[in-house]
Amino acid sequence: MEFLKNYMDLIIFLTLGIMALLAFWCVVERILFFRKIDFKTYKNQEQFDDAISENLTMIYIIYSNAPYIGLLGTVVGIMITFYEMGVVGDIDVKSIVIGLSLALKATALGLLVAIPCLMAYNALLRKISLLSNAYRESKNA
């Protein structure tokens, strides 16, 4: 239990930080790719759609799982707080409130990672839809 008490915040924050960096990298990569896209390099619609939707799965996985990782940190933090209350045997309101507030920061960080990922994912989906339509029109013209 001591290991969890000392390192759980670090583990959760590092995991969410890595997820945020990965999502940021995927979004930037897609934006740069969209800027230099050339319709002539793709033979058909399927090949084009595969190319423009690359890395979207990673963003989707991050935005859908970041809140759960944050929630895991919160649950473990609450478990540690209750365990310490049971071991000490004396209920100190100050230590309980501090323990619970520290536990909730993991959920907040999970949401802080997930919300921008969701926004970026939806924006990229819209851009992909527009590019796919533009490709289709360029091949039909």
Task: Return the pLDDT at 35.
Answer: 95
CB atoms within 10 A of CB 109: 23
The residue segments making up the domain with residue 34 are 2-140
* Residue 131, H or E segment: helix 93-140
Per the structure, the count of domains in the chain is 1
Task: Return the pLDDT at 89.
Answer: 77
Task: Return the pLDDT at 56.
Answer: 95
What distances in angstroms separate CA 19 from CA 93, 110, 127, one per listed residue?
35, 10, 23
Task: Return the pLDDT at 94.
Answer: 82
Q: Report residues of the chain scoring pLDDT below 50.
A: none
Task: Return the pLDDT at 50.
Answer: 94
Is 109 in contact with 13 (CB distance < 8 Å)?
A: yes
Residue-wise pLDDT for 113-123, tens only, equals: 999 999 999 99
* pTM, 2 dp: 0.86
Task: Return the pLDDT at 2.
Answer: 77
